[in-house]
Each structure stands twice: as C-alpha cells, then as structure tokens.
Amino acid sequence: TAAFDVEAIRRDFPILDQQINGKPLVYLDNGASSQKPIAVLDAMDRYYREMHSNVHRGAHTLGDRATSAFEGAREKVRAFLNADSTREIIWTRGTTEAINVVANGLAGRLKPGDEILVSHMEHHANIVPWQMVAERTGAKVVPIQITPQGELDPDSFNSLLGDRTRVLALTHVSNVLGTVNPIAPLIEQAKAHGVITVIDGAQAVPHFQPDVQALGCDFYVFSSHKLFGPTGVGVLYGKAQLLEEMPPFQGGGEMIERVSFERTTWNVLPYKFEAGTPPVAEAIGLGAAIDYLGNLDRNGMEASENALLTRANELVESVPGMEIIGTASQKVPVMSFKIAGLHPSDIGTLLDQQGIAIRTGHHCAMPLMDFYGVPGTARASFAFYNTLEEVEQLFTALQKIQRLFA
Ligand code: PMP
C-alpha cells in the first residue's frame, strides 16, 4: 500500500540485500533477532567516532556528551513505554537479565508456600529465574495451563490465582506460537489480589507499543536486539516504589552512593541497578531504533504484518501434511509448524539452501514442546520489512521440500 512502503523500508536495512547460497536472502528469523536499520548503525558509529568516553564521570566535555546521549536514550525508552519517569527505566543486558534482576529483587518477599504463577507458554528466561528463586525461598512455580489453540486457559488462571499467589510472570506474546495474551485484564485481576505482575515483552515490542501505565503492570522487560536495536542491552521497566524497595542485583561502581568498610549505601534510581560501566553505545543504538520506529506509520505497519500472516495461513493447505502449532485468535506474524515426515531441523537446513532463514528447535520453551508432544518446531517469524513475495517464496520452497523429502 502507499501508506506503508515496504520496498522503501527495506532500503533502510542493508543486510537484507544479499544472496545466501546463490539465492536472495529471505530473513524470517526475526523472533530470534531482528535486523538493524542504517539509522541505528549510524548512531552507534557517530557515538564512537565523536563522543565516546565513560558516562556519569564528569570533569570533561566528551564525558558530558556521552552522558547526555546515553541519558537521552533512556528518555526515548521511557516515552516508548509511556513510563512515568526515567527513574523507572533500568538498562540491563537483555530480557533474561531483567527478569533475573526482578526475581532476585523479589526473593525477600517470598516464603515457603508462596506461589509464582507463570504460564505453560513461557520462554525459559521467564521460568528458570523463578525456579532459582523458588529454590532459595521455598516458594513454588505454578504454570497456568493453555488450550490446544495456544491461548491461556482462563479457567486455569482463575483457579490458580489465589491467596498464595505473590507474583504473576507472564509473556505478552509467545515466541513460539505468536499468541498475544490478554494481559490487561489479567494484570487487573492479579492486582486485585495484591499480586506483583511481571510482563515479558521480548516478542511484543517488535510488533506494537505497550503503554505500561495503561496496563498497570509492575514490571515490563524487553531486549533491544529484537526491537531492531543492537545486542547487549535491554530494558527493565519497574514501578519506582517497588524498585526502591528491592535490593540491588549486582554490586560495584555506579550503583553506590557511598562506600566504606563499615557501611555502603545505594545510589538513587535507576543507577542502583546499574553496576559497572553500562552499555553506552548500545543504549544509544536502541534509542535510534525507537526513533526509527516512531517515524513509521504504525497502523500501516500493523496492517502489513497482518497481511503477511493472513497470506501464510492461506498457503498452509498448499503443503501436504503441514500443520500450524498455535492458532490463537490474537497473533503476531509468527508461525510455528510441522510437516508430516520431515524433522524440523531438516526443514531449516533445506530452506537455508534456498536462502530462507527460519529457526528450528525447542525455541527455549521446552515445557511448551512437551505440551504439544513435539521435540521442536520450525518457526517462521516476520517483521515489518518482510514482503508478501517472501511469504510466497517460503511456501514455494516448502512445497518443493515436502515433495522431494517427506
Ligand atoms: N522471552 C521471550 C519471549 C523471548 O522470545 C526471548 C528471546 N528468544 C527471551 C525472553 C530472552 O531474550 P534475551 O535472550 O534477549 O535475553
């Protein structure tokens, strides 16, 4: 459509314009990590060429420039999430570290018999840190069941949410199924029980912009590298009051107010949770990615992504024995599938020979694989720069693979 010009957008992503195994690259592994626009590469390049130095150390001009670019990026993240204050935006290494910061920070509130509700569709990053904290405190990690379509089972949620529940740790969007969970009403219900809510937004933010104040969640986390920004940095949003009450995650420089051998005191938010020299260039790169996204037509982007998913769903029946895993009514353009007679990893290898990049395996969601009784799936995950032609190329390749190898 004229409103959302995918061909023009693709020119912002130089990596997409190349041949793989003699075929034009079709990059459909955006759920694992998405590609970076020139604006992000340039912002990081400019930072290193013109203003690199350590931040918050003062005393010289470059340090001031680096600090203001770095803190400017924090403000961009704040605006992106509609958080109340930059005190609530903490830089982490990514989603995984952010969840570990929260789990560790909440340990002091947990005691034997307390329950941490997660769901059966969580990524390991939103299971294992809770298991570790449960081990330390005697609390229990309890999974909310899902339906065969890959939606949260509301009866299971209603029956599990109770007096013992202390934390609800839930993914906004499933990395395997593409399911968009109805987190707003679930957060509201949890809060009515005094439960602390932690939302894993890793797979949500590449497709839509959450409003943490409207959602009312206590914590919301994501990774830059899935949001068209660089690796090595992520975001922990947390309500200021809870962050104030939580102990720091790591100790070191930057996170202190005053250190002595008798007594050390913590720095103010957000620095209390940012021990050591932070990922300055990466944070600035993420800020540039957020600016880039802000200049796109959001409605056009959503319509374009929905068209990709619709076209993919239409083409499923053109591949004999192909079955989609995850048919929720609300989905982002992520498609896990199996094809009778083919191992997922063979599908991945054969597609790669035709220049098409997907992911295969358990996708760090082994409990979900167990639920569907599969060792793994093949997963095509789309971004706004993917085209309908690429969807068709994927299916033409799958038809051929099915014909020759199934
Ligand atoms: N949660 C979800 C839903 C994810 O998809 C991922 C990345 N696959 C993560 C958490 C972990 O993100 P990271 O590896 O960037 O910490």
pLDDT tens digits along 92-149: 999 999 999 999 999 999 999 999 999 999 999 999 999 999 999 999 999 999 999 9
Ligand 1 centroid to 377 CA: how many Å?
A: 17
Ligand 1 centroid to 224 CA: how many Å?
A: 10
pLDDT tens digits along 17-54: 999 999 999 999 999 999 999 999 999 999 999 999 99
pLDDT tens digits along 161-197: 999 999 999 999 999 999 999 999 999 999 999 999 9
Query: Which pLDDT belongs to residue 59?
Result: 86
Q: Is the same domain home to 315 and 286?
A: no
Q: Is the same domain home to 269 and 346?
A: no
Q: Is the same domain home to 273 and 310?
A: no
For ligand 1, pick from 119, 122, 123 the residue to mutate: most ligand atoms within 8 Å of CB: 123
Is residue 46 one of the residues assigned to a domain?
Answer: no
364 is catalytic: yes
**Residue type present at position 229:** G
Q: Is the same domain home to 289 and 321?
A: no
Residue with tokens 């994501």: 222
Is residue 44 one of the residues assigned to a domain?
Answer: no
Buried b or exposed e, range 162-193, using 16+ CB within 10 angstroms = eeebbbbbbbbbbbbbbbbbebeebbebbeee
User: pTM, whole model, 2 decimals?
Assistant: 0.98
Q: Is the same domain home to 373 and 352?
A: yes
The total number of structural domains that make up the chain = 2
- Where among 294, 313, 338 does a domain terminate? 294
Does 1 score more than 90 pLDDT? no
Q: Is the same domain home to 347 and 228?
A: no
Q: What is the CA radius of gyration of the chain?
A: 22
pLDDT tens digits along 62-88: 999 999 999 999 999 999 999 999 999
Number of Cβ within 10 Å of residue 264's Cβ equals 12
* Ligand 1 proximity of 94 Cβ (cutoff 6 Å): yes
- Where among 266, 294, 322 does a domain terminate? 294
Query: Which pLDDT belongs to residue 57?
Result: 80
Q: Is the same domain home to 278 and 366?
A: no
The parent domain of residue 18 ranges over 6-29+297-405
Q: What is the largest CA-CA distance in the chain?
A: 73
Domain of 382: which CATH number?
Answer: 3.90.1150.10
Nearest CA to ligand 1 atom 6: 202
Q: Is the same domain home to 146 and 260?
A: yes
Average pLDDT in the 7-20 region?
A: 98
First and final CA of the chain: distance in angstroms?
A: 37
Domain of 75: which CATH number?
Answer: 3.40.640.10
Beta strands in 204-272 (DSSP E): 219-223, 234-238, 256-258, 265-266
Helices (H), 295-387: 298-315, 344-352, 366-372
Q: Is the same domain home to 77 and 104?
A: yes
Q: Is the same domain home to 124 and 154?
A: yes
Query: Which pLDDT belongs to residue 80?
Result: 98
